[in-house]
Amino acid sequence: MGIFSKFVAKIKGESTADPLDWQVLETELLGSDLGPTLTSQIIQSAKLIKGGDALVSLTQILNEHLSAKSRTLSKSDQTTVIMVVGVNGTGKTTSVAKLAAHLKSSGSSVVLAAADTFRAAAVDQLQTWGKRVGVEVIAGKEGAEPASVAFDAATRSKELSSDYLIIDTAGRLHNKSDLMAELEKVKRVVEKTLVVAEVLLVIDATTGQNGIAQAKIFTEAVAVTGLIVTKLDGSARGGVALAIESALDIPIKFIGTGESDTDLAVFAPAAYISGLIAD
């Protein structure tokens, strides 16, 4: 029996746990990257648990910190545009491919835009994925402006009346204001042609408290509508995503669980929450 279940067994049916037990719970929650703020909120609520099943109550408390917003992709009348954004190396390009495969398998037509014109071989990477998944990739000439590639892709998908356009963007650290301005411009320029229905921020499950700053600043720049939490197939539990939901009310929409195009799942709150407090 792991630490957490021991704790649960101990406070089960009792009105209070002793200080040591609270410390154990704190350790578990912090260890899942929930962060000090959310952890202390949860412990405060947990201290009010009276009787009943402690595990059920705790799960309930964690659930209350999830966003109430819809977790399904919104759909436009014309081509639905999805922008995929995030800091470097979180899994944006792979997630774009996975989303394309996911949407295509449900019968939709998809076009991809290779708007990462900065990182070495980023365009080739997306083109390789496009071939594998069987969708068209719009790419610009070398060194093209990301906004102009995105604009061309928007025009093209409108012509094709494609159901979806997914835009891969270059990784950027949120504290670089010039790169954030570039991202704003990509969105602005696409919106001359089509509405951007979703801006999905990709958060690596191994990310610590910096994830909150990422979500905050990307939201300020391009109004993030949902999260994709990647690399949940590893040992990280991705708790910072709950901290983001709680602090900024941005819903997790998908999770990534591997490197192949099928390793994407629609977010399932119950599994995620129980993963956070698993031993």
Partner 1 sequence: MFDSLSSKLTGAFASLRSRGKITSSDIDATCSDIRAALLESDVALTVMEPFIETIRAKSLAALPTLQSGTNQAQAIFEIVSAELIEILGGAARRVRFAKNPPTVIMLAGLQGAGKTTLAGKLAKFYADQGNTPLLVASDLQRPNAVTQLQVVGESVGVPVFAPEPGNGVGDPVKVAEQSLAHAKTKLYNMVIVDTAGRLGVDAQLMQQAIDIRNAVNPDEVLFVVDAMMGQDAVRTARAFEDGVGFDGVVLTKLDGDARGGAALSIAKLTGKPIMFSSNGEKLTDFDIFYPERMASRILGLGDVATLAEQAKKAFDGDATAKLEEKFARGDDFTLSDFLEQLEAMSKMGSMSKILGMLPGAGAMKKQIENFDESEIVRTKSIVQSMTPLEREDPNVLNGSRRARIALGAGRKVQDVNSLVDKFTAAQKMMRQMRKGGGVPPAMAQGMGIPAGMGAGIGGHQHGGQKGQQPAKKKSKSGNPAKRAAQEQG
Ligand X SMILES: Nc1nc2c(ncn2[C@@H]2O[C@H](COP(=O)(O)OP(=O)(O)OP(=O)(O)O)[C@@H](O)[C@H]2O)c(=O)[nH]1
Q: Interface residues with ligand X (CB under 6 A)?
A: 86, 88-94, 116, 119, 122, 171, 230-231, 233-234, 256-259, 263
| Residue number with CB closer to partner 1 (73 or 202) | 202
Q: Is 93 in the site for Mg ion (CB under 5 A)?
A: yes
How many angstroms from the chain centroid is the CA of residue 136?
A: 24
Binding mask 252-271 for partner 1 (x = CB under 8 A): -------x------------
Q: Which two tokens stand for residue 147?
A: 């906004």
Which of helix, strand or coil describes residue 114? strand
Tell me if 247 contacts partner 1 by CB under 8 A: no
Residue 137: which H helix or E strand, with range?
Answer: strand 136-138
Among 68, 192, 235, 270, binds partner 1 (CB under 8 A): 235
Count the site residues for partner 1 by CB under 8 A. 50
* Pairing mode of beta strands 196-204, 110-115: unpaired
Which does residue 30 touch among partner 1, Mg ion, ligand X, none (CB within 5 to 8 A, set by kind)?
partner 1
83: enclosing H helix or E strand: strand 80-85
216: contact with partner 1 by CB under 8 A:
yes
- Asked if residue 63 lies in contact with residue 273, where contact means CB atoms within 8 angstroms, the answer is yes
Nearer residue to partner 1 within complex by CB, 49 or 149: 149
Residue 25 has which token pair? 């719970």
Gap between the Cα atoms of 277 and 34, Å rounded: 11
Kindly give the pairing relationship between strand 110-115 and strand 164-169.
Answer: parallel
Q: Choosing among ligand X, partner 1, Mg ion, none, which partner's interface includes residue 210 (Cβ < 5 to 8 Å by kind)?
A: partner 1
Site pattern 145..184 for partner 1 (x: CB under 8 A): ----------------------------xxxxxx--x---
Quote the Cα angle for 273-230-2, to 5°. 40
**Start-to-end CA span in the chain (Å):** 8
Answer yes or no whether residue 15 interacts with partner 1 by CB under 8 A: no
Please identify, using beta-carbon distances, which residue of 122 and 250 lies nearer to ligand X: 122
What does the alpha-carbon distance between residue 159 and residue 172 come to, in Å, rounded to a whole number?
A: 30
- Cα gap 155→47, rounded to integer Å: 56
Tell me which stretch binds Mg ion (CB under 5 A): 93-101, 135-143, 182-190, 233-241: 93-101
Binding site partner of 207, from Mg ion, ligand X, partner 1, none, Cβ cut-off 5-8 A by kind: partner 1
Other residues' Cβ atoms within 10 Å of the Cβ of residue 70: 11
Binding site for Mg ion (CB under 5 A): 92-93
Binding site for partner 1 (CB under 8 A): 27, 30-33, 35-36, 87-91, 118-122, 124-125, 128-129, 132, 173-178, 181, 204-213, 216-217, 231, 233-237, 239-240, 259
